[in-house]
Copies of this chain bind each other. A is one copy, B any other.
Amino acid sequence: MIRKLNEAIRRTGAPIVVGLDPNLAFIPDGIREQAFQKHGETAEGVAEAFWQFNRGIIDAVHDLIPAVKPQIAMYEQFGLPGLAVFDRTVRYAREKGLLVIADAKRGDIGSTSEAYAIGMLGATSVGNSEIRAFDADFVTVNPYLGSDGVKPFIQVAKKRDKGIFVLVKTSNPSSGELQDLVVKTADGTEKPLYEVVGGLVETWGADAMEDGYSNVGAVVGATYPEQGRILRKIMPHAVILVPGYGAQGGTGANLAHFFNDDGLGAIINSSRGIIAAWREERYASYGPERYAEASREAVLAMKEDIHGAV
């Protein structure tokens, strides 16, 4: 699957993933009102508004970018109707030729991790039937439980030509609280925990390579460019999924070190900066009704910002 992602990055010239993290505050009044008229102020109403909003964004940007990244928490908070729209969004994005990264940050042990992997990337055989759950192309994975929590995801990914991104150094202010702690390793050297996890990502990924890159990628926040530079070297075969650009403070200038010399090796996420672009002053002329066109403009501006920096 990482080959397909790299091909799509080359084809579009845009190492960009759009985060489909809908929030009622981002959704133009017209869409919201229509959904509530139909379903009332219910979870179904919110889900309908999310769906119409997402579809507009996907229709407007699908030719510009390789992938979208729905954050499942935004859907899960509205229960089953919310998750039904997560599912519908994943399917629709794939129909439109986009790859889908399920941002679910799952992680457990053994057979439970396998169940999560099947839930996001796979299918289960029951008797003579194959039962699919959510059918994303990649899922984000939390490494705190160690190898036997991560490897079942890799096994399912290999079996189904999918991939994963492991949290290494996250974009949030307190990510350093555990991730930056200096640890003593078996060989007597000292290094921050995120470097240990980066080393594990490279090791885990050695067994899942395609054309020079691994189906085991990493998450490293744009807000930590210096750590990105170091992790780029520790994980030469990992594609780095980079959140934190835009709303969280990361800029194009912070991104150069996340890429390899071949121009690949990183894909930059922006969520609010794209999907809520219509609310920004610079895109105000679009108005709420043309929110999706504002998103398209914001993708083009982001592409230019990244090309200027890399």
Nearest Cβ on chain B to A139's Cβ, whole angstroms: 11
Residues of B within 8 A of A309 (CB): none
A178 close to B (CB within 8 Å): yes
Q: Which of A82, A115, A196 has the most CB of B within 10 A?
A: A115
A280 close to B (CB within 8 Å): no
Residues of B within 8 A of A118 (CB): 77
Sampled A-B contacts (26; CB under 8 Å): A21-B112, A41-B128, A42-B126, A42-B129, A42-B131, A43-B131, A71-B108, A71-B115, A73-B116, A74-B112, A78-B119, A78-B124, A83-B83, A105-B107, A142-B142, A144-B144, A144-B167, A144-B170, A146-B172, A146-B177, A181-B183, A181-B184, A181-B185, A181-B193, A183-B193, A184-B184
Contact assessment for A110 and B172 in the assembled complex, using a CB-CB cutoff below 8 Å = yes
Partner of A146 from the list B40, B175, B183, B196 (CB cut-off 8 Å) is B175
Specify the chain B residue showing the minimal Cβ separation from A120.
B76
CB within 8 Å of B: which residues of A? 21, 24, 36, 40-43, 45-46, 71, 73-74, 76-80, 82-84, 87, 105-110, 112-113, 115-116, 118-120, 122, 124, 126-129, 131-134, 142-149, 167, 170-179, 181-185, 190, 193, 196-197, 200
Residues of B within 8 A of A190 (CB): 184
Partner of A73 from the list B83, B84, B112, B171 (CB cut-off 8 Å) is B112
Residues of B within 8 A of A171 (CB): 109
Nearest Cβ on chain B to A92's Cβ, whole angstroms: 16
Question: CA–CA, A184 to B190, complex, Å?
Answer: 9
Contact assessment for A146 and B129 in the assembled complex, using a CB-CB cutoff below 8 Å = no
Nearest Cβ on chain B to A218's Cβ, whole angstroms: 13
Known contacts A146-B178, A178-B193, A183-B193; 5 further A-B pairs (Cβ under 8 A): A82-B119, A142-B142, A146-B172, A177-B200, A184-B184
Nearest Cβ on chain B to A33's Cβ, whole angstroms: 11
Question: CA–CA, A126 to B25, complex, Å?
Answer: 11
Nearest Cβ on chain B to A210's Cβ, whole angstroms: 25
Specify the chain B residue showing the minimal Cβ separation from A221.
B109
Partner of A145 from the list B80, B115, B174 (CB cut-off 8 Å) is B174
